[in-house]
Amino acid sequence: MDIIELIDERYLKMSKSHKKIAEFIKAHYDQAVFMTAAKIGEILEISESTVVRFASGLGFDGYPDFQKHLAEWVKDKLNTVSKMGAKYGKSSQSEILTSVLRADMEKIGDTLETVDSAAFEAAVDAIIEAKTVYIVGIRTCEPLADFLSFYLNMVRGNVIQVRTTSASEVFEQMIRIDENDALIGISFPRYSMRTLKAMEFANDRNAKVIAITDSVHSPMNLYSSCNLFARSDMVSIVDSLVAPLSLINALVVALCMKCPKEVKQNLTHLEQAWNNYQVYLNDEINFIDQAPVLHYPLTEAGER
């Protein structure tokens, strides 16, 4: 019997407080596995000792032992290859397409309904006012960090994307962060400990810390003063990053609207650089009526 089955079996005989804990763990197991008994008690507005007694009542040697077994269950639960087979094994290709797209639409809808507009505005102001903006996104969240860093560089200067393979490298790249700076930490289940440590370091240096994560139960909220939530669930062998990307897109647009003159100037300079250094070919040329014009001499046919 796995840990969730054990909870279900004992549920009817539990006290009201213990049922509350059981429901929370079943609904948010991927966040609960990182939380202490005190943290769960704080969220549910019950005592830490009640959470400890809940674990003992299930037959575990205290809360740490319960948390260890929960972590093992979560690891098995996140065996995404098995999940994908169970969900899509009998589906046609078109049914898979429809199912995944509808699931992504649902996640964007949920994000729209739950996003905190005040936190969103505070994040925009913090990014605009910061001397330097640090962005941290590890593993599957790195593409989100790449996207945000790329466009944030067009809006303002002094943007540093922290790239790392170890915790020590995080601190080396953030050694100058202080109260005049801001850090944006991006992490979704499974949460990145390196991202969490970066946010803790920034918080200790009194920098403004912004979290882009999935819910109020995320450990990323421990060190952030501004939390932006976007739903991200596993539907296949990859995480769905559609809703987080839409949230980041909205963040970039809002930043552009805050300082339109600077953005226009930056884009004008960038366009001039692209043209001067032949970054792009003109993709609007009508190759039937006109030949492509390049800013460098063509060699003989045999040397092309």
**Pair 124, 60 in one domain:** no
Q: How many angstroms from the chain centroid is the CA of residue 8?
A: 31
Task: Kindly state whether residue 288 falls inside one of the protein's structural domains.
Answer: no
CA atoms within 13 A on the CB side of 128: 18
Is residue 20 pLDDT above 60, yes or no? yes
Task: Kindly state whether residue 73 falls inside one of the protein's structural domains.
Answer: yes
The DSSP code for 11 is: G
**Pair 129, 238 in one domain:** yes
Q: How far apart (Å, rounded) are the C-alpha atoms in residues 195 and 155?
A: 24
pLDDT of residue 297: 47
Is residue 278 pLDDT above 80, yes or no? no
pLDDT of residue 91: 59
The CA–CA distances, whole Å, from 15 to 10, 56, 59 equal: 10, 13, 16
Q: At 294, is the pLDDT very low, low, confident or very high (cuts 50, 70, 90)?
A: very low
**Pair 23, 125 in one domain:** no
Is residue 114 pLDDT above 90, yes or no? no
**Pair 178, 128 in one domain:** yes
Is residue 234 pLDDT above 60, yes or no? no
The CA–CA distances, whole Å, from 65 to 11, 57, 59, 72, 124 equal: 19, 12, 10, 11, 42
Q: At 287, is the pLDDT very low, low, confident or very high (cuts 50, 70, 90)?
A: very low
**Pair 157, 230 in one domain:** yes
Is residue 279 pLDDT above 50, yes or no? yes
Instruction: Name, in order, each residue with C-beta under 8 angstroms of 143's C-beta and a sequence gap of 6 or more.
Output: 137, 241
29-33, 214-218, 259-263, 292-296: range with lowest mean pLDDT: 292-296
**Pair 120, 250 in one domain:** yes
Q: How many angstroms from the chain centroid is the CA of residue 14?
A: 35
**Pair 68, 151 in one domain:** no
pLDDT tens digits for range 52-90: 999 999 999 989 999 988 888 877 766 554 555 555 555
Is residue 4 pLDDT above 50, yes or no? yes
pLDDT of residue 121: 93
Q: Provide the mean pLDDT of the chain.
A: 81
Count of the separate structural domains present in the chain: 2
Q: At 157, is the pLDDT very low, low, confident or very high (cuts 50, 70, 90)?
A: confident
Task: Kindly state whether residue 150 falls inside one of the protein's structural domains.
Answer: yes
Percent of the chain with pLDDT over 90: 34
Q: Residue 39: which CATH number?
A: 1.10.10.10
**Pair 183, 60 in one domain:** no
Q: CB count, 10 Å around CB of 135?
A: 25
Instruction: Name, in order, each residue with C-beta under 8 angstroms of 236's C-beta and a sequence gap of 6 or more.
Output: 80, 84, 87, 88, 100
Q: At 296, is the pLDDT very low, low, confident or very high (cuts 50, 70, 90)?
A: very low
Q: At 191, is the pLDDT very low, low, confident or very high (cuts 50, 70, 90)?
A: confident
Q: In terms of residue numbers, what domain contains 59?
A: 3-77
Task: Kindly state whether residue 252 falls inside one of the protein's structural domains.
Answer: yes
Q: Residue 250: which CATH number?
A: 3.40.50.10490
Q: Which of 21, 54, 77 is the last residue of a domain?
A: 77
Task: Kindly state whether residue 215 falls inside one of the protein's structural domains.
Answer: yes
The DSSP code for 301 is: G
Q: How many angstroms from the chain centroid is the CA of residue 257?
A: 23
47-56, 79-88, 150-159, 173-182: range with lowest mean pLDDT: 79-88
Task: Kindly state whether residue 283 falls inside one of the protein's structural domains.
Answer: no
**Pair 154, 239 in one domain:** yes
Of the candidates 22, 74, 28, the one whose C-alpha atom is nearest the C-alpha of residue 50 is: 22
Q: Which of 261, 280, 299 is the last residue of a domain?
A: 261
pLDDT of residue 18: 92
Mean pLDDT computed over 117-133 = 94
Q: CB count, 10 Å around CB of 269?
A: 10
Q: How far apart (Å, rounded) are the C-alpha atoms in residues 137 and 163?
A: 8
**Pair 142, 246 in one domain:** yes
Instruction: Name, in order, each residue with C-beta under 8 angstroms of 216's C-beta and a sequence gap of 6 or more.
Output: 43, 227, 229
**Pair 59, 178 in one domain:** no
- Three-class HEC string of 195-256: HHHHHHHHHHCCCEEEEEECCCCCHHHHCCCEEEECCCCECCCCECCHHHHHHHHHHHHHHH
Task: Kindly state whether residue 275 falls inside one of the protein's structural domains.
Answer: no
pLDDT of residue 84: 54
**Pair 120, 242 in one domain:** yes
pLDDT of residue 304: 42
pLDDT of residue 291: 46
Contact 40, 20 (CB under 8 A): no
Is residue 139 pLDDT above 50, yes or no? yes
Q: How far apart (Å, rounded) are the C-alpha atoms in residues 195 and 180?
A: 20
Q: At 167, is the pLDDT very low, low, confident or very high (cuts 50, 70, 90)?
A: low
Contact 276, 283 (CB under 8 A): no
Task: Kindly state whether residue 90 falls inside one of the protein's structural domains.
Answer: no
